[in-house]
Amino acid sequence: MPSVTLRHNMEIAHRLFLMPGKCQQIHGHSMQVSLTLYGDVNENGVFEGRDFGGIKKVLRAHLDNNYDHHLLLNENDPWARPLAAYDDVEFETPAIAMDGFLALPGLVTVPGDPTTENLALWISAWAAKTFCLDADVTIDETGTNSFSAGATWAPPGFTNQDRDILVHVDGNRHDHS
């Protein structure tokens, strides 16, 4: 099946709250995200009738707004909790206001540990729903480690009313060393 692959980098800080060991420390990665969308080439020779530039713009906005230069923490991580009452502290650097409390600047809470595996799952599910196409995502966590996951787009009226997509994972952590 024809496909298009787009790549974008993201710089993230995270901590793996549920994984004992060194990854429980807040640390960062320069990640390379590759998104592959599957579809057809129309009679004019254009993939799904879409301009690559438009697809790239939507992907980059999603990654930049939700992940790039953010601190990703499991929503159950104690460090994801508000730090102080908003009225009790003054900062020169803007902090995030959460229901009258301050949170760490750049904090994004997610529904599980922000592992490379979960990031690939979340981004592929978003892409399938956003572009209405089957999607695979590979995230190069480092120069030697990557993980791939995919999501299948389901059209409106899909029998599972709670989800618009079906998520599948190849189940393998890839080591390119």
Strand arrangement, sheet containing 145-153: 107-110, 70-74, 3-14, 27-38, 134-140, 145-153, 165-175
The CATH superfamily assigned to 10-175 is 6-pyruvoyl tetrahydropterin synthase/QueD (3.30.479.10)
Residues comprising the chain, all counted: 177
pLDDT for the residue numbered 67: 98
Which helix (H) or strand (E) is 175 found in, with range? strand 165-175
Sequence ranges of the domains in the chain? 10-175
User: What number is the average pLDDT over the span 82-91?
Assistant: 56
Q: Calculate the average pLDDT of the chain.
A: 85
Note the pLDDT of residue 30.
Answer: 97
pLDDT of 19 > 50? The answer is: yes
Q: pTM score, two decimals?
A: 0.82
